[in-house]
Structure 1
Amino acid sequence: MMLMHQTMRWYGRHDPVSLADIRQAGCAGVVTALHHIPVGDIWTSDEILLRKKMIEDAGMTWTVIESLPVSDDIKRQSGNYLYHIENYKASLRNIAACGLKVVTYNFMPVLDWLRTNVYYKLEDGSTALYFNRIDYVVFDLFLLKRPEADAEYAVEEIVKAKERFNAMSEEERAFLFNNMMLGLPGSDDAFTPGQVLSELQKYQGIDAAKLKEHLFYFLKEVVPVAEEYGLKMAIHPDDPPYPVLGLPRIMSTEKDAADLIEAVPSPANGLCFCTGSFGARADNNVPAMLRRFGDQVHFLHLRNTKRDAEGNFFEADHLTGDTDMFEVIKEVLAIQHRRNISLPMRPDHGHQMLDDLKKKTYPGYSAIGRLKGLAELRGTEYALHKMLYE
C-alpha cells in the first residue's frame, strides 16, 4: 500500500509525551528539531546524529525536521542576516550528511502561532486551541497596548473589545495575556510585553511585499544548496493566516503559495501543507489547493478548524471541521500514486482529553488527542485506499 508515512511531533527529552508513547500510537517516525540550538547557529552533525540515534533506538525514524528556524535578522534583512544565511546553508549540508530529507521552516515575523485560549472547553469536556477575534483585539489594544493599533480595527470591533475588557476580571485578563504571550513551541519561556513591542518596532517599514522579497532572497540563497544535497524545503503557512499585531503575513493564501513556487522554481522548494492553517480562511479551498500544488508538497499537517463569520475559530476534530478531510486524503492518495512516494504526515493540534486533562503538555500536543486524530486519519486513508486502488 502507498500510504502516508505517519509521524508525530516530539519536542525532545523534556517532552511529557515520550518516544515510547509515540511508537505505541502506531507512528513509524518522529518529527522534531534541535530546540536547544540558538536560532542562527549551525546545527552540527554530532548534535543531529545524537537526536537521530535516540529516535532510532526507540524503533522509529527521523527524516523530517520541524523546524530549522529562520532568524528575524533574515526576515528583516538586518543585523547578521548574511552570516545567518551562511550558517543555514552549513546546517543544510550537515542535515543531508546525516540522512534527513525534509526541512520545515516558516517566515512568520516575531511570533509563531497565536491563540487567545489554549484550553477552550468543548461540549464533551475536552479542550482545544481557540482564536477569538474580539479577545485578540482586547489583548492588542488594552493589554499589550501597541501604539496606534486602533487604526487597524473597525469602530464596531473596538467598541466590542472595550466592553469585553471592562467586563473581564483580573484573572480573565491575566489568562488572556498569558495565552497570547506563550513562547515559541518547544520552549517554556514566555515573551514579555516589552520584548514583543521592541521586536514589533523592528519591523517598521516592512510590509507584506517587502517581507515576501526577503523570503525569496533567502530561498534563492538556500534552495540551490538543498537541491544539490537532495533535501526538500517545506514552508509552513501562517497561523492564523492573516496579519497579526501589525505584522505582515505572506504565506496565507493560494496566491502566496503560487508566488513562492514561481519565485524559486526547484524540486527542493515546496510546502509543508497545513490543512488547519490554510483552512482557517474561508477563501482557501483546501482540497483544490492540494490538487494544484501536489507536486510541491513535501510534508503534511492534517488538522481541522471550525470558523465563524466573526473571525473566530477553534481546533475541531480531525474529520469534522470546515475542511473536507475525506477529499483531502483522497487527493493525498492520488498525489502519492502519481509521484510514487509516501508523504510524511502528522496529525496536528489534538484535543486535550481523558487522562491528559490532568497533565501539563505543550498546547495542542498532548498524546491522547493526537492519537485519536491519527486513528481517524489512518482509518479514512486505509478505507479510501482499499476503495480506490485495490
Structure 2
Amino acid sequence: MIESWRWYGEFDSITLAEVAQTGARGIVTALHGIPYGEVWSRAAIADRRARITQAGFDWVVVESLPVHERIKRGEGDLSGLFANYRQSMVHLAAEGVTTICYNFMPLLDWTRTDLTAPVDGGATCLRFDATRMAAFEIHMLGRRDAEGDYPEGVLTNAANWFQQATQADRDGLLAAIMAGMPGAFDRYDVAGLKTAIGGYDGIGRDGLRANYKRFLEEVVPTAENLGIRLCVHPDDPPRDIMGLPRIVSNGDDLEWVLRAYDSPANGITLCSGSLGANPANDVTAIAAKVADHIHFAHLRNVRKEADGSFEEAAHLDGDTDMVSLIKVLMTEEARRLDAGRGDHAIPFRPDHGHHMLSDQVREMIPGYPLVGRLRGLAELRGVMRGLAYT
C-alpha cells in the first residue's frame, strides 16, 4: 500500500519537509483556494505538482475535486459546471494525477461538534456529540421536525445544554460545525446556514440520488477516456443531518453508487472512520464486498456511544478491527497484482489523528495534526509489515 499524507498546501502550517520525516511518500492534496465549480488550470496543477515532486513526493490522489452545490441540487442549467469539472479532469490527467476523491454530501463536509475533546493522557480529538448537535439543530437553527431525529434523553440533555450555554459556547459550537469546510471559503452564520439548507427543500433522498446519477453519467465517460479513477468518499457522519439527506452512508449505498454507472473508473474511497460511525456498518465486510472498486483508503478509527455520539479513537483502538480491514485491502492488492494490473497498489493515508504533544501548541487544521497522524501512520505501518510476513 502507498503511504500517503494529506497536505493542505498554502492553508497548511505543516511543511513538506516535516511530512518527509514521517516516511510517507505520497501526497494527497487539492487546489483548495479555487472556488467550487471553476476550472483548475493546468498551470496551477503543474505548479502544485512541481512543488510536491521537488520535495521528494508523488501527488498520488486529489482530495478533493469538489462537486458544486448546484449539481447536488440539480439546479438550473448545469452544462457549464459539468464542462468545467471535465476540463479540470483533463488538466489533472495531463499532469499525471489520475485518482480523484470527491464527495456528494449536501452543503457540509465532515461535521463535528467538538474540535478539542479530551482523551486519556492529555491529548484531544474530534468529537460528534449527539446532545450538542441536537441543541444546535433544535434551539439554534430552529429546524422543524428535528426532535424526531433524536431519542428522548438526548432531547432533554440538549435543552439543558442550550439553557446553560453562554454565547461563547454557542459560537464555539457553530465554529466546530463549520470546521469541516477546507480552504478559503466563507463559513455560514446560523441565518446563512438556515438559508442554505432551504435550498435542498423538496429534494429528498431519491432526488439527491437522481442528481448524483446524472453527475456520474456526465463525468465517468471522461474519466474512462483519461485513465482516471474517481472514488467517492462516504458521508461523515453517515446519517441524515440538519434535515439534509445523506446517500453514501452504508454498504447498500456504496453498491448503489457502483451500479449507477458500472465502470472501473467509478469507485470508492474506503473511509473506515466515516463508515465506522454507523453502528449498523461492518466496515470490514463492506470493504470486502466492494474491494475491487476501492481506489483510495482513509484509515482511522472511532469509538461510538449508545446515544449516537462518537469520537476519534487511536487508529488501532476504536470499534473497527483495523487489522482485519487492512488484511482485506492487502488481499485485494495481491489479487490485482496477480491479474497484471500496474496500478495494483492502493494509496492510503492516516486520517484524523489526536492532537498531542507539540500539536497542542501549534496552529493546525482540526483533525490534521503532525504528531497525532505520525503516530497513526506508524501503527498502520506496523500492522501492514506484520501482515506481509504472515
Deviations 1:320-377 (A, max 9, x none): 1000001011111101000121100000000000011011110000111000000000
Q: Which residue of 1 aligns with 2:128?
A: 131
Q: Which amino acid aligns with 1:281?
A: N
Compute the RMSD of aligned alpha carbons: 1.3
Q: How far apart are residue 63 of structure 1 and its match? A: 2.4
Q: How far apart are residue 155 of structure 1 and its match? A: 4.5
- Report the count of equivalent residues: 384
Matches of 2:207 and 2:185 in 1, distance apart? 32
Q: How far apart are residue 148 of structure 1 and its match? A: 4.7
Matches of 1:188 and 1:217 in 2, distance apart? 26
Does structure 2 retain, via aligned residues, the 8 Å contact 1:232–1:298? yes
Tell me the secondary structure at the aligned position of residue 362 of structure 1: coil
Query: What TM-score, normalized to structure 1?
Result: 0.96
Q: How far apart are residue 261 of structure 1 and its match? A: 0.5
Q: Does 1:68 align with 2:65?
A: yes
Counterpart of 1:312 (choices 302, 306, 309) is 309
Counterpart of 1:280 (choices 277, 282, 285) is 277
Counterpart of 1:301 (choices 298, 301, 310) is 298
Q: Does 1:324 align with 2:327?
A: no
Q: How far apart are residue 379 of structure 1 and its match? A: 0.7
Does structure 2 retain, via aligned residues, the 8 Å contact 1:352–1:369? yes
Deviation larger for 165-174 or 100-109: 165-174
Tell me the secondary structure at the aligned position of residue 278 of structure 2: coil
Q: Which residue of 2 aligns with 1:82?
A: 79
Matches of 1:80 and 1:197 in 2, distance apart? 24
Q: Which residue of 2 aligns with 1:118?
A: 115
Q: Which residue of 1 aligns with 2:340?
A: none
Tell me the secondary structure at the aligned position of residue 290 of structure 2: helix
Matches of 1:58 and 1:208 in 2, distance apart? 44
Counterpart of 2:25 (choices 24, 28, 32) is 28
Return 5+ residue gaps in structure 2 as ranges.
338-343
Q: How far apart are residue 188 of structure 1 and its match? A: 6.8
Q: Which residue of 1 aligns with 2:203?
A: 206
Counterpart of 1:92 (choices 75, 89, 93) is 89
Q: Which residue of 2 aligns with 1:371?
A: 374
Does structure 1 retain, via aligned residues, the 8 Å contact 2:299–2:350? yes
Q: Which residue of 2 aligns with 1:54?
A: 51
Matches of 1:151 and 1:262 in 2, distance apart? 32
Matches of 1:293 and 1:151 in 2, distance apart? 33
Q: How far apart are residue 156 of structure 1 and its match? A: 4.2
Does structure 2 retain, via aligned residues, the 8 Å contact 1:116–1:135? yes
Counterpart of 1:177 (choices 152, 174, 178) is 174
Deviation larger for 275-284 or 172-181: 172-181
Q: Which residue of 2 aligns with 1:215?
A: 212
Tell me the secondary structure at the aligned position of residue 249 of structure 2: coil
Tell me the secondary structure at the aligned position of residue 30 of structure 1: strand
Distance change >3 Å, CA 334–CA 74, structure 1 → 2: same
Does structure 2 retain, via aligned residues, the 8 Å contact 1:96–1:231? yes
Does structure 1 retain, via aligned residues, the 8 Å contact 2:304–2:311? yes
Distance change >3 Å, CA 290–CA 151, structure 1 → 2: closer
Matches of 2:175 and 2:213 in 1, distance apart? 34
Matches of 1:210 and 1:130 in 2, distance apart? 30
Q: How far apart are residue 170 of structure 1 and its match? A: 3.5
Q: Which amino acid aligns with 1:167?
A: Q
Return 5+ residue gaps in structure 1 as ranges.
none
Q: Does 1:6 align with 2:3?
A: yes
Q: How far apart are residue 36 of structure 1 and its match? A: 1.2
Q: Does 1:165 align with 2:197?
A: no
Query: What TM-score, normalized to structure 2?
Result: 0.96
Q: Which residue of 1 aligns with 2:362?
A: 359
Q: How far apart are residue 11 of structure 1 and its match? A: 0.5
Identity %: 41
Tell me the secondary structure at the aligned position of residue 10 of structure 2: coil
Tell me the secondary structure at the aligned position of residue 214 of structure 2: helix
Matches of 1:187 and 1:366 in 2, distance apart? 19
Distance change >3 Å, CA 239–CA 248, structure 1 → 2: same
Distance change >3 Å, CA 203–CA 116, structure 1 → 2: same
Counterpart of 2:350 (choices 330, 347, 364) is 347
Matches of 1:200 and 1:347 in 2, distance apart? 31
Does structure 2 retain, via aligned residues, the 8 Å contact 1:73–1:80? no
Matches of 2:17 and 2:87 in 1, distance apart? 32
